Amino acid sequence: MGKIYPKIIFGFLITVLIGIFSWGGWSDPWLGAARIFWAAFVGLTGFLILWTGKISRWRAVLFIAMAWGFMVYFKSESLGLTGKFFTSDQMRESPYCHIAMASSIFNYLYQQYLALKSKAWSAWGPLSLGFLWLIVTLTLGQAWCSWACFYGGLDEGFSRILKKPPLKRFNLPAKIRDMPAAILIFMILISFSAMLPIFCLWVCPLKITTSFLDPIDAARKAQLLIFAVIGILTIIALPLVMGKRTFCGLICPFGAWQALFGQINPFRVTIDQKECSQCGLCAQICPTFAITQDSLKNPRISSYCNRCGVCLDQCPAGAISYTVGPHKNFGPLDAKILFLFSALLVAGAAGALFMPEAIATLARGLFR
Interaxial angle between packed helices 335-352 and 29-52, expressed in degrees from 0 to 180 and rounded to the nearest 10:
160
Looking at residue 272, the DSSP 8-state letter turns out to be -
Query: pLDDT digit string (tens) for 154-177?
Result: 999 999 999 888 887 777 887 888
CA distance 339 to 142: 12
Q: Name the strand (E) or helix (H) holding 215.
A: none
| Residue 62, pLDDT score | 97
Give the mean model confidence (pLDDT) for residues 30-54. Answer: 95
Query: pLDDT digit string (tens) for 59-95?
Result: 999 999 999 998 888 765 554 444 333 333 433 444 5
| Residue 90, pLDDT score | 38
CA distance 306 to 272: 18
What is the total residue count of the chain? 368
Higher pLDDT, 37 or 131: 37
| Residue 9, pLDDT score | 95
Higher pLDDT, 165 or 213: 165
CA distance 237 to 79: 21
| Residue 100, pLDDT score | 85
CATH class name, domain 266-326: alpha beta
Q: Band of the pLDDT at 211, cuts 50, 70, 90?
A: low
Tell how strand 333-334 and strand 329-330 pair up: antiparallel
Higher pLDDT, 255 or 84: 255
CA distance 119 to 100: 24
CA distance 356 to 38: 6
Is the confidence at residue 348, as pLDDT, over 60? yes
| Residue 81, pLDDT score | 45
CA distance 78 to 89: 16
Least confident of 121-130, 150-159, 277-286: 121-130
* Nearest CA among 106, 70, 143, 133 for reference residue 357: 70
Contact 320, 56 (CB under 8 A): no
| Residue 320, pLDDT score | 93
For the chain, the average pLDDT equals: 86
Domain ranges of the chain: 1-82+334-368, 86-264, 266-326
Is the confidence at residue 128, as pLDDT, over 90? no
Query: pLDDT digit string (tens) for 46-58?
Result: 999 999 999 999 9
Helix-, strand-, coil-residue percentages of the chain, each rounded to 5: 65, 5, 30
Higher pLDDT, 171 or 282: 282
Query: pLDDT digit string (tens) for 15-30?
Result: 999 999 888 777 888 8
